[in-house]
């Protein structure tokens, strides 16, 4: 039994007036092991955020179920923590207070000294020492997202859900924070489910990359096993002989699905809507 199971999940949204429901994705099944880092890549609008929000319990599903550690997910909970691309910090609270708020709600029995020590540990892990008393307005986008990541990791949830957390961050800073995320994940070995459209980011971070077709009726068509050994860093990972094979494979998938668009997805649907994803191992 896997740690996190997305079991035959479909999602429909009501269509425009007069039209029927729109199928965002159909029959998505995926299994994530404890401590695994998986990413989902697909074109904009294919349903990645909807899938992540269903796992978070923030969005309802139309068919199927999500099972975490043997229990069905039926709403949001502290066992799943989401990091959004727009940071979602409390603007009137300092860096310290934003993280402490989450820690106190996750560990209501802890005394003040335990909370303070725990918050400082995660502030140090994301390189925010010295910025504890700043409010979000005084922080750059990169620093705000460091707070978001520290807050999410600090409550040590069963699953961390990251929805394109670096989308709003400039390319240079993004690289630095990706490395910090690698280090934080190495230190904690949390289970992570991450949405991205950055192929290099996915290879650096993932044990497995799930490739999603375009909507409507999108599906996870392929799963790429990334066997490049850990620990990884941005410098060393590109030296590995598999790196460009994986990169080319993923980019080809994305180009293929960008070119064919909706019509080809109708074709895919007719063929075999519930075909199991192709597993590709590098």
Ligand X SMILES: Nc1ncnc2c1ncn2[C@@H]1O[C@H](COP(=O)(O)OP(=O)(O)O)[C@@H](O)[C@H]1O
Q: How far is the CB of 259 from ligand X (least distance, A)?
A: 18
Q: Pattern 68-107, binding to Mg ion, x per CB under 5 A?
A: ----------------------------------------
Size of the site for Mg ion (CB under 5 A): 1
Q: Which residue among 24, 73, 99, 192 contacts ligand X (CB under 6 A)?
A: 24
Q: Which residue among 49, 190, 196, 214 contacts Mg ion (CB under 5 A)?
A: 49
Which has the closest alpha carbon to 64: 24, 28, 108?
Answer: 28
C-beta closer to ligand X: residue 52 or 237: 52
Q: How far is the CB of 50 from ligand X (least distance, A)?
A: 3
DSSP state for residue 187 in the 8-state scheme:
H
C-beta closer to ligand X: residue 98 or 196: 196
Q: Look-up: residue for tokens 């069905």? A: 72
Q: How far is the CB of 209 from ligand X (least distance, A)?
A: 15
Q: Tell me the C-alpha distance between 102 and 165, whole Å.
A: 18
44 binds ligand X (CB under 6 A): yes
Mapped onto helix, strand or coil, the DSSP state of residue 235 is helix
Cβ pair 243, 237 in contact under 8 A: yes
46 binds ligand X (CB under 6 A): yes
DSSP state for residue 137 in the 8-state scheme:
G
C-beta closer to Mg ion: residue 49 or 94: 49
Contacted entry of Mg ion, ligand X, none for residue 46, CB cut-off 5 to 8 Å set by kind? ligand X
Cα angle, residue 267 at apex, residues 262 and 272 outer, rounded to 5°: 125
Mapped onto helix, strand or coil, the DSSP state of residue 280 is strand
Segment lying near Mg ion (by CB under 5 A), choices 7-15, 49-57, 106-114, 270-278: 49-57
C-beta closer to ligand X: residue 190 or 196: 196
Q: Tell me the C-alpha distance between 160 and 162, whole Å.
A: 6
* Torsion sign (Cα): 188, 189, 194, 196: positive
The interaxial angle of helices 171-188 and 112-125, nearest 10 deg, is 130
Segment lying near ligand X (by CB under 6 A), choices 39-47, 77-85, 148-156, 234-242: 39-47
Cβ pair 202, 209 in contact under 8 A: yes
Q: How far is the CB of 82 from ligand X (least distance, A)?
A: 13
Which has the closest alpha carbon to 10: 41, 51, 58, 57?
Answer: 51
Segment lying near ligand X (by CB under 6 A), choices 43-51, 93-101, 108-116, 222-230: 43-51
CB burial of residue 191 (10 Å; 0-12, 13-18, 19+): buried
Contacted entry of Mg ion, ligand X, none for residue 44, CB cut-off 5 to 8 Å set by kind? ligand X
Sites of contact with ligand X (CB under 6 A): 13, 24, 42, 44-50, 215
Sites of contact with Mg ion (CB under 5 A): 49
């Amino acid at each position: 039994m896997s740690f996190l199971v997305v079991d035959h999940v479909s999602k429909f949204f009501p269509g425009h007036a007069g039209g029927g429901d729109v199928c965002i994705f159909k029959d998505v099944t995926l299994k994530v092991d404890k401590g695994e880092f998986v990413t989902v890549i697909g074109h904009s609008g294919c349903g990645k955020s909807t899938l992540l929000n269903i796992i978070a319990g923030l969005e309802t599903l139309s068919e199927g179920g999500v099972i975490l550690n043997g229990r069905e997910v039926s709403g949001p909970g502290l066992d799943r923590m989401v990091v959004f691309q727009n940071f979602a910090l409390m603007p009137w609270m300092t860096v310290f207070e934003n993280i402490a708020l989450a820690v106190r709600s996750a560990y209501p029995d802890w005394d003040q000294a335990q909370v303070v020590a725990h918050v400082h540990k995660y502030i140090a892990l994301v390189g925010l020492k010295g910025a504890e008393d700043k409010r979000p307005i005084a922080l750059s986008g990169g620093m705000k997202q460091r707070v978001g990541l520290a807050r999410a990791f600090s409550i040590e949830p069963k699953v961390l859900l990251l929805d394109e957390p670096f989308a709003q961050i400039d390319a240079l800073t993004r690289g630095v924070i990706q490395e910090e995320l690698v280090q934080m994940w190495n230190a904690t070995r949390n289970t992570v489910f991450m949405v991205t459209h950055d192929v290099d980011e996915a290879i650096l971070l993932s044990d497995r990359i799930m490739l999603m077709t375009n909507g409507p009726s999108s599906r996870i068509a392929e799963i790429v096993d990334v066997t490049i050994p850990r620990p990884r860093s941005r410098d060393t990972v590109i030296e590995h002989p598999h790196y460009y094979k994986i990169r080319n494979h993923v980019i080809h998938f994305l180009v293929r699905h960008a070119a064919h668009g909706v019509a080809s997805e109708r074709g895919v649907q007719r063929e075999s809507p519930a075909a199991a994803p192709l597993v590709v191992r590098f």
